[in-house]
Every structure is written in structure tokens, then in C-alpha cells.
Structure 1
Amino acid sequence: MKIAVFSAKKYDQESFRQWADDSLEFSFFDAPLNQHSAGFAQGCQAVCVFVNDDLSKPVLAELSAMGVGMVALRCAGFNNVDLAAARELGLRVARVPAYSPEAVAEHTVAMILCLNRKLHKAYNRVRDDNFALDGLLGFNLHGKTAGLIGTGRIGVATAKILLGFGMRLLCYDIKKDQDLEKAGVSYVPLEQLWAQSDMISLHCPLTPQTQHIINDHSLAQMKDGVMLINTSRGGLIDTKAVIKALKNRKIGHLGLDVYEQEADLFFQDLSGQLIDDEVFKRLLTFPNVLITGHQAFFTQEALQQICQVTSDNLLAFKANRLIGNEL
């Protein structure tokens, strides 16, 4: 079976060659999937895509017309897929529901520690032989209150780490995790989480209900100087509202591994180009903002799991059987 793999970087190619089933024939394309690049899938029975590929109805229709029967997501999120259109066209869609949740959780905590203890600033100072501590003052995580929005596998992994720091945890999710409750976390209404949390970390999927869950109204309810971390999906945050909150000191620290308009930026080297996104450039001007380029998932273990589960999903489609990862 032939599969067109879009948004395929060198590490993707190496991972699939190492861990995917040998009976699958992959063609790798660095280009993202959209209406302009969909033709690369000609002659393929499936496409393999990532978080910023365009799987809107027009693209899906073009793929279906070429004989593509499956969309294999090598990620957990599927907000970029028009599932109704896929069903209408008879396209099967499968995802990787979980791949090393600890990878994202650990990156989340790394951002918290880096922002709090200003490790990025300290690193640059010492390289310039500046060993002064002025401006590097942090705070103890022990005894502070963290609010987690979403307690799926990544949220649970994050909660376990933060509990190890001796933090009080407030959580919000439509479904409570009983093991977390036994460990001492409290599920509370959003209003209480906003008001009492010293730091807030987002771990929920992007849906119409969670779109811009961080906005002017929710920010106004938070503590002054709150730390905000997002390693989930960029659309959870109204970036312009966050910039205002940074300017008026409502947000004391901001850590982003995702960005609402990241499709034109992330996963590519733009160091020799001018970036036209003025909102993103404005974020970079704040000394208390730390941005990484959708890197939280990026560990050896996660890449292996992504490739193996994606391979299993494709083999299930080839054999006309269900595997439990279909949407």
C-alpha cells in the first residue's frame, strides 16, 4: 500500500524507516498538505498528516477523487480535520490517541521552571561572564497552587509531576480522574480555578467549546502575576488578549509551545527571512515570555510510538479492519 506523508521532516523519515511496517510504501513530502499540494498523493491509497496540515472539505474531496481512502494522523489532535466531510466522502480517519504523554508533561514543567528561575537569562549572563543575581529572583513551587485545564493522559502526567513538587492542584475537566482525586487534587469550577491558581497549564483539546478559553473575561478573573503555560493547541488562547494581560502585568510569566497561527511558522527554519506576523513578533518582545516551536512532544520515545501506532492504523485499513483509533 502506498502512503503519501506530508509535512515530513528528516526525523519523520528516519523514524518511519526504522519503526514502521516494511510492507508499507511511504513517499515523503516536506510540504504541508493543502489544496496546492494534494496532488502529490496521486496513486496513493492513504495520506499521513500532522497537526498543521489542511484537511478541510475541499482538500478531502480532492484526495477522495484521486482514490485515497484513509487519512492517518500522526498526532492525537484532530481539530484540523473536517470529520463530517470525511464521513460523507467515505474516508477513514485514524489518529494516535496517546504517545508518551510524559514527554509533553515534562516539557510543560521545564517551561515552568525555566520561566520561574529565569534559566534562559542566567545561561546567557554566565556566557558573558556576568554572575550577578539581580533580576533572577524566582519563587518556590512548593506550596503554590497550580490549575490544570484538562486531565487526559497528558494532564494526569503533568499533575503527578507537580504533586511531587508539593503543589496544591486544582483541575477542571468534563470527566474527573478518580486516581487523581485520591492523590489529592481537587476538581473545581473554572471560576474558582482562575481565581486561586498561581499558575495555569492548558491540556485540553481544541473544540468549539474551548476555542479562546483564555480570553479577556477569564484573564480578568486570574491573580495578578499569574503564570500561564500552553503546550496543547494555540487556539485555546486569544493571543491579543494575552498581550494586553502581559502589558498590564496580569500575566507574570507566559510559556507557549503552540501558537494559533503557527502553521506559517513552526517546523521550518525561517532564520533568513522576515516574519510578517506582528502579533507573534510582539510576543517575542516581552522578557517574561518563553516560546518553543511545538517541541513538547519531541522525544525519541514519542516518535517511536507515533510511527508504530500510525503503522498499525494503516495496516488495519489495508486489512479492512478496525483498530480502535478511528474517529
Structure 2
Amino acid sequence: MKVAIFGTKSYDKEFFKLEGVSTNHELVFFESRLRVKTAPLAKGFDAVCVFVNDVVDAETIKIIADFGVKVIALRCAGFNNVDLEEAEKHGIVILRVPAYSPYAVAEHTLALILTLNRKTHKAYNRVREGNFSLDRLTGFDIHGKTVGIIGTGKIGQIFANIMTGLGCKVVGFDLYPNKELEKNGTLKYVSLNELLDQSDIISLHCPLTPQTHHIINDHTIWRMKKGAMLINTSRGRLIDTEAAIRALSKGHLGYLGIDVYEQEEKLFFRDLSETLIRDEKMMNLMAFPNVLVTGHQAFFTDTALTQIARVTLGNLTAYENGEELVNRVGTEAIKA
């Protein structure tokens, strides 16, 4: 198949070329993200490959469908940026990578927690300047704390095991409880309100759906313990950023660590070091000393990049050969 890979960086090219050697697919890389303005680039291709911040809305889909595109291959697990109904209307198949390295995301979640707590990022900068003072670097023992996990799929399950290993009490909230976690006693399922009331650290690992959009808002934040830590390595729109800023300003939210952000498509995966950033919410967040932001790098390990390329190309091969599409996504996913 001839595949247009949008929104590519050097690492995408490296891993896709490496895995592509064993396939018959013709891969063409575009640095531009897929959206209405760039959709004409898909002319002459059988498939397009997109990532989390490509805009695959109804208008874009209509354009690429007219060009004969039959497949949209997501090189990620989430599909909230794709109009599934419009794709089905045009007979376009949606394929994704459901799990590339849940360990990578779970481990990055722990990294955010440890960095925020023990302030190692601040200590690193101090020491490089010859400042060995310990003032304002006080942390807390994670052992014995209550950790609340919202969403206990593969990533949430691994994260629960990690925090249990650190000696934490782990509680979880999920509409579809993980029977394995319940059976081995790794965590106790509680209601969302109970989780918010009890937890010292809250970590988000649920998908973005209409039901989970802004699941963290003014109401839920103010149910949290004063001084609680909130971590998000899932999807940016799970958190109402303005509500988080208000809670930080008033000292109710003790720590915030995010690897995803509501408006990240305007910022992430780009070098803006010599650009005036006009996103007021992001600038407000970064002004707080108890906020840590990383640029959607939780997935970013060699293991994950290899798996993303391998599964994405495998999905395309399965489609081309008329095989079962185990990673297909349809409108039933919305209903689910």
C-alpha cells in the first residue's frame, strides 16, 4: 500500500523505516499534521497514518475519501480526534494501536510523582549553579499514602502494581472493574466521590469520552483533600484547566503533574523556544512552582516506538491481505 504518514518527526521516520523493511508498503512522510488544509497531500495514497493531534474531522475525511483513501491508520491508542461516523459513511476503515507500551506510561506517571514530590528538577538546577541548599526542597514519604486511580485498564493496572510495591494503599474507580486487580487485592474499588475524598495522590488513566470530558472540574477538585497531588498522563481534556488553575491559586490543589493538556495541539511536539507562547492557560500553569508539565512524552521509549511502527504496519498488511482486523475501531466504540 502507498501510505501518507502525517505529523512525522525524525524518530517516526527512523522506526517506521526500520520496521517497513519487512513489508511491501510504500511510506511517504509529511511533517505537516493532517487537517483540512493539508488533506490534499493525501491524493494518490491508499492510506493515511495519523497521530494524536492530527484533526481527522468530517471535512477532512470527505476530502481524503474523494482522493480514494480507504484506511486511516492511527499510530496511537486514542481515537477521539477521528470522526468515526463520517469515516464509516465513506467506507473508510479505522485501525489503531491499542497498546504499545503501557509500562512506559505507567512509569512516566511515577516519574512525575517523584519529581513533584522530591523536587529533583529544582535540585538539579540548583546544584549546577553551585547551590547545595536544601531550603524549600522538602518532600513527603509516598509509602503509606492513599493513591486513587481513575481508569484501571492496562496502564492503570500496571500503575496500581507499581504503587502497591511502594507500600501505598490503592483505590480505584472504573465503570468496568478489573477483576484481576480485585481478586489479588491490589486495589479496592470505590465510588468516584470516595476516591476523591480519600486519596493523597490521584492519577488519571481513563480514555477521553463525552462522559469523562472534564471529569476533573471545580466540583471534583474541591472534593479532593487539601494539598492532594493530581497527575494526568492520559488525555488533556480530562481536566478543566481553568478549574485546576483556580484550585492552585487558592492553595487547595497541592501539586499538578501533566503530560497532556487541553490545548496541546498548539504546543506539543514542536520547538517553540524562540517563539512567544500566547497560550495564557499554559503560561499560568507554568508560573506555579508546584506544577510540572512534560510534552506528551509518557509513551516515548524505544520499546513503544518499535511497537507503534510494527503494529501500525501490521494493521495495514492485514487490511491489504483481507485478514481479520483485530485493531479496527468503529462507531460501536462510541456507544461502548
The corresponding residue for 1:74 is 75
- Cα deviation 1:104-159 (Å, max 9, x = unaligned): 00000000000000111111111111111110111111100000000111111111
Alignment gaps of 5+ in structure 1: none
Displacement after TM superposition at 1:250 (Å): 1.1
The corresponding residue for 2:138 is 137
Equivalent residue letter for 1:151: T
Structure 2 residue matching 1:171: 3-state secondary structure: strand
Structure 1 residue matching 2:87: 3-state secondary structure: helix
Written as runs of structure 1 = structure 2, the 5 A alignment for 1:170-249 is: 170-181=171-182, 182-249=184-251
Q: Is the 8 A contact 2:152 2:173 kept in 1?
A: yes
Equivalent residue letter for 1:80: N
- Cα deviation 1:140-199 (Å, max 9, x = unaligned): 111000000001111111111111100000101111112212133100000000000001
Displacement after TM superposition at 1:321 (Å): 2.6
**Residue 298 of structure 2 corresponds to residue 296 of structure 1:** yes
Structure 2 residue matching 1:121: 3-state secondary structure: helix
- Cα deviation 1:8-45 (Å, max 9, x = unaligned): 10000000011134301111001100000011111000
Q: Is the 8 A contact 2:161 2:186 kept in 1?
A: no
**Residue 162 of structure 2 corresponds to residue 161 of structure 1:** yes
- Cα deviation 1:42-78 (Å, max 9, x = unaligned): 1000000000001111001101000000000000000
- Which among 266, 269, 287 is matched to residue 268 of structure 2? 266
Distance 2:16 2:197 in 1: 45
Equivalent residue letter for 2:180: D
Equivalent residue letter for 1:288: N
Equivalent residue letter for 1:189: S
Distance 2:38 2:186 in 1: 50
Structure 1 residue matching 2:287: 3-state secondary structure: coil
Equivalent residue letter for 2:235: R
Distance 1:226 1:30 in 2: 40
Displacement after TM superposition at 1:318 (Å): 1.1
Distance 1:305 1:156 in 2: 20
Distance 2:135 2:289 in 1: 14
Number of matched pairs = 327
- Cα deviation 1:240-295 (Å, max 9, x = unaligned): 00000001111111101000100010001111111111111111100010000000
Distance 1:89 1:157 in 2: 38
Equivalent residue letter for 2:24: S
Distance 2:223 2:36 in 1: 42
Structure 1 residue matching 2:76: 3-state secondary structure: coil
Equivalent residue letter for 1:16: F
Distance 1:320 1:40 in 2: 26
The corresponding residue for 1:47 is 48
Written as runs of structure 1 = structure 2, the 5 A alignment for 1:113-128 is: 113-128=114-129
TM-score, normalised relative to structure 1: 0.99
Displacement after TM superposition at 1:316 (Å): 1.3
The corresponding residue for 2:287 is 285
Written as runs of structure 1 = structure 2, the 5 A alignment for 1:28-47 is: 28-47=29-48
**Alpha-carbon RMSD:** 0.8
Distance 1:254 1:155 in 2: 18
Alignment gaps of 5+ in structure 2: 330-336
Equivalent residue letter for 1:5: I
Distance 2:40 2:271 in 1: 25
Equivalent residue letter for 2:51: F
Structure 1 residue matching 2:276: 3-state secondary structure: coil
Displacement after TM superposition at 1:322 (Å): 2.4
Deviating 4+ runs (over 2 angstroms): 320-323
Displacement after TM superposition at 1:320 (Å): 2.5
Distance 2:89 2:295 in 1: 34
Equivalent residue letter for 2:39: A
Larger deviation, residues 314-323 vs 189-198: 314-323
Equivalent residue letter for 2:203: S
Structure 2 residue matching 1:271: 3-state secondary structure: coil
TM-score, normalised relative to structure 2: 0.96
Distance 2:32 2:187 in 1: 43
Distance 2:186 2:68 in 1: 52
Displacement after TM superposition at 1:215 (Å): 0.2
